[in-house]
Chain A
Amino acid sequence: MQSHDTDRHPFLQGLSRHRGVPPTVIVIFGASGDLTARKLVPAIYNLGLDNLLPSDFYLIGFGRKAIQDEAFREMTQTDVQKYSRRPLHPEFWEHLSEKVLYHTGDYDQVEAYKALGERIDVIEKNLGRDIQLLFYISTPPTVFKPILENLGASGLAARHAGTALASKIIIEKPFGRDLDSAKGLNQVLRQQFQESQVFRIDHYLGKETVQDLLVQRFSNSIFEPIWNFRYVDCIQITVAEELGVGTRGGYYDQSGALRDMIQNHTMQLLSLVAMEPPVSLSPEDIRDEKVKLLKAIQPVDLRPEGGDVIRAHYTEGLVSGERVPGYTQEQGIPADSFTETYAAIRLFINNWRWQGVPIYLRSGKRMPRRVSEIAVQFKQPPGALFSDTARFDLAPNTMVMQIQPDEGTTLLINSKIPGLETRTQPVKMHFRYSTTFGSNTPEAYERLILDAMGGDGTLFIRGDETETSWGIFTPILDFWQSGGRRGLETYASGSWGPVAADRLLWERKHEWRRPGP
């Protein structure tokens, strides 16, 4: 989103930021894993197809398994065939795959990194020019620390420091599992990298609708004047998944819905929908506003009765007509587990704009459908004219920004039903990305990898954001941990969550939305 052009090379001025990415080697740690196969390799391939990769581009996979370059090329080719949004283009792939390599090594052995450095030296030498390194840590978090430390110890982190080609690093969530560990991770990162070199990824930020939030809010004069406590009745953010924990039960049981979804994705959505207008579109100005918003969130009331949080896990039920097991019957989940697969929270933002407006967040697994949306529900107008509810079916105006699966925005307004008599009903005005702009839009990871290569951190999470957000949620996690199963609700698989969660909204005469098609 950067807009100033004058600091760029004269030959790049006038070109989109995204079309002037410097020569880059992307090193993926954990390249034999699931994320690399499903998202990273297809994203890199599609960037290449769109001519968005630099002319000197290399991809190096790093991992413990002994994999030869040729075998890794075959693996990545299969990934493209299976997961890319566009089919494999054989000639282009042949060209790109020549620069796909694999480096075997242990994450905790500095020699492996030094050897990697030597391979990169050779590449640089052959090129006859400097090349930037972009590290992508796509391993489980247990190895984040040794990787970061060895990038430092081997000198890879400091390559071309102080120049535009300084090494950069993308890390995947989780950014800690509570406030202390988030601070610990940030500390290790800061020992090796400047904050401007660190790109904490939340793929939600790469989605068009999420980026569009800023555009819709701040480029249209009709929304901003009503985007406050005077007109907004409540905001609901839903991140629902249809799937259960599947084969990742062991991992999930250590995490839960609050850590896995709410602390990151929903809070990112909330900060963008509720923050104040930034003074510019620069990454720092936008992220400053996000942090300010997070800091204004009031501590939540933890009392089991009448408090602001509900947790639950799913029991057996029907999802899309198929019978599915309950959480504690899933593979790898202990029978006495009290990890939540659903969490709902009511928040209040203590600033001028949002005083008294409840913000409802929920996320769960095994809900009826996969959907992520933000709904801003406005207050009803004074009812003098249309107060006869038998004749006038009126709904509160609601603006729904759907993030997945169909990105787009819907505005709910009241309208007259055709006929001689005046009868009303709510109707929808739809805008969908896929119908307006075609459905073959880039995937979130494409945009994010490209931005990181170009050094633009706008769509990434800054260190202080993660800490502020963990500061809100750590007391809840501690409280749940100390309470064991106390207060843990259940909900049938395929339902929209536990009945207890309705209470959070009923108190203010609100209801959870049923996100439909």
Chain B
Amino acid sequence: MDLFDTLPGLNLRVSEISPMLSSMWQASADDKRDVAATGRASQLNLVVHFGGQASAEEGLGIFNTAISFAQSYPCRIIVLCPVVSVKGADSIDAKLFSLCYVGADQRALCACEAVILGYLHQDAVHLEDLISLWLENDLPVYHWFHNVSAEALKRDVLPLLHGCRRVLFDSAVEDPALKTIRWPEPQSIADLTRSHLLPVRQSLGQFLAGYPPWQLIAGLKKVVVAYAPGHLAEAESLIDWQQKTLLHCGAKEEGVAAVVFGYEPLRVGADTSIEVRWVYADDKYLSWSFCEKRTSVHITANLGTGKVDLAQQLQLLSPEQALAEALFFAN
């Protein structure tokens, strides 16, 4: 079973999608009111692109994240799945998913729909026009890639990105070659892994902001992020962030551009997920460690004004929170 088959939804023909979208929330067959329009609050569009390599399990996870996100930020979701053969009567297979969601309080009542398309590689050129049928025009369009090879992205998807507000991917799963792509609007690229780490950056940032920048960089020799299995992309993202931030602290001017930045696996048996260590030429140091299981952070440091030993609670963002963060607040 390929990914298209795994995703939930009602199989229908492409031409049936629009009529179905406008009639699906009617109370009865005689109810001619356009209920979808009354209740429709969609104020943005989310287009999810799966690559040929995306597994059914990953795909389902991402789909569920998108649906959870839509419960807080009503949006039109379109999911694009490459398939090796189409099964329906058209050149493109289609499904429509809809969900009515009732939250804990009366106000949290919402409905969301997702249009899912299964297309052959050679029909990718038609997708831009086809999805314009369901995108809420004038409103921001966000694209989310999952496991799309750099080659497929360049070939099929770049034309779709013109004018879009944000392009999302997760460096934890993507083809490293994505980094070499010349994006039409580079400022619109956002990495989900980075957004997911927002609480980590906040914890470290708040602590370090208690020291003057010059004090942080004076004598700094090495910055290391150690990571548990499965957290490499997060380590890379954290290194990248620290490198950029330290430059802002004046590392270049102070002649300490020679600080070594690196990451390494955590020792076997460690119960932490990520650790950040700063090594100085003198007796200053920073050790920040996060245990995902216990949702706790432990900071020990001496950054020139005496020893500190701190414990904090910290929870990484859920996938849908990370999605919202990446879409709206990433830059």
Residues of chain A whose beta carbon lies under 8 Å from any beta carbon of chain B: 317-318, 320-323, 368-369, 389-391, 393, 395, 398, 400, 406, 410, 412, 417, 419, 421, 423, 425-428, 430, 432, 434-435, 438-440, 492, 494-496, 511, 513-517
Contact = CB atoms under 8 A, between A and B. Distances in A.
A425 B44 contact: yes
Nearest to A323: B91
A427 to B, nearest CB: 5
Residue of B133, B135, B138 contacting most chain A CB atoms (<10 Å) = B138
B135 A516 contact: yes
Contacts of B92: 318, 321
A133 to B, nearest CB: 36
Given A321-B15, A425-B43, A435-B34, 19 more contacts: A318-B126, A318-B130, A321-B91, A322-B90, A322-B91, A368-B129, A390-B187, A398-B138, A417-B328, A423-B329, A425-B44, A438-B32, A495-B129, A513-B137, A513-B138, A516-B132, A516-B134, A517-B21, A517-B22
Given A317-B126, A318-B130, A390-B187, A514 B91 contact: no
B318 interface: no
A395 B138 contact: yes
Given A412-B138, A516-B135, A517-B18, A321 B37 contact: no
Interface in B90-104: 90-92, 94
B14 A322 contact: yes
Contacts of B187: 389-390
B13 interface: yes
Interface in B111-146: 123, 126, 129-130, 132-140
Nearest to B135: A516
A395 B165 CA distance: 11
A435 B38 contact: yes
Contacts of B22: 517
B163 interface: yes
Given A323-B91, A434-B33, A517 B139 contact: no
7 contacts: A321-B130, A406-B34, A435-B34, A440-B32, A492-B129, A516-B138, A517-B134
A483 to B, nearest CB: 28
B136 A511 contact: no
Nearest to A367: B129
B43 A321 contact: no
A425 B136 CA distance: 13
B138 A321 contact: no
B331 interface: yes
Contact of A517 (B15, B133, B140): B133
B32 A439 contact: yes
A438 B130 contact: no
B195 to A, nearest CB: 13
Interface string B5-22: 000000001110010011
Nearest to A398: B138
B127 to A, nearest CB: 9
Contacts of A417: 328
A516 B137 contact: yes
A492 B125 CA distance: 10
A438 to B, nearest CB: 7
Contacts of A517: 18, 21-22, 76, 133-137
A318 B123 contact: yes
B89 to A, nearest CB: 8
A257 to B, nearest CB: 18
A331 to B, nearest CB: 21
A517 B91 CA distance: 22
Minimum-distance CB pairs A-B, first 6:
A321-B14, A516-B137, A321-B90, A320-B15, A321-B92, A318-B126
Contacts of B133: 320, 368-369, 516-517
B139 A439 contact: no
A513 B138 CA distance: 8
A491 B140 CA distance: 26
Contact of B43 (A391, A428, A440, A495): A428
B331 A391 contact: yes
A428 B139 contact: yes
Contacts of B38: 435
Given A432-B37, A434-B34, A514 B132 contact: yes
A118 to B, nearest CB: 45
Nearest to B35: A435
Nearest to B76: A517
A321 B163 CA distance: 24
Interface string B25-58: 0000000111001101001100000000000000
B165 A425 contact: yes
Given A321-B92, A323-B91, A439-B32, A496 B140 contact: no
B140 A321 contact: no
A415 to B, nearest CB: 8
Contacts of B44: 425
Contacts of A323: 91
B29 to A, nearest CB: 14
Contacts of A427: 43, 139
Contacts of A496: 129, 132
Given A427-B43, A435-B37, A516 B126 contact: no
A323 B40 CA distance: 31
A318 B329 contact: no
Contacts of A390: 187, 331
A412 B91 CA distance: 35
A204 to B, nearest CB: 21
Most buried by A among B123, B187, B328: B328
Given A393-B140, A516-B136, A439 B126 contact: no
Nearest to B165: A393
Contact of B37 (A391, A398, A430, A516): A430
B328 A419 contact: yes
A389 B188 CA distance: 10
B138 A368 contact: no
B140 A426 contact: yes
A496 B328 CA distance: 29
B20 to A, nearest CB: 12
B37 A426 contact: no
Contact of A369 (B18, B32, B37, B139): B18
B69 to A, nearest CB: 13
Contacts of A495: 129
B138 A426 contact: yes
Contacts of A322: 14-15, 90-91
B31 to A, nearest CB: 10
B13 A321 contact: yes
Contact of A494 (B37, B130, B134, B136): B130
A273 B25 CA distance: 34
Nearest to B138: A412
A282 B277 CA distance: 82
A400 B137 CA distance: 11
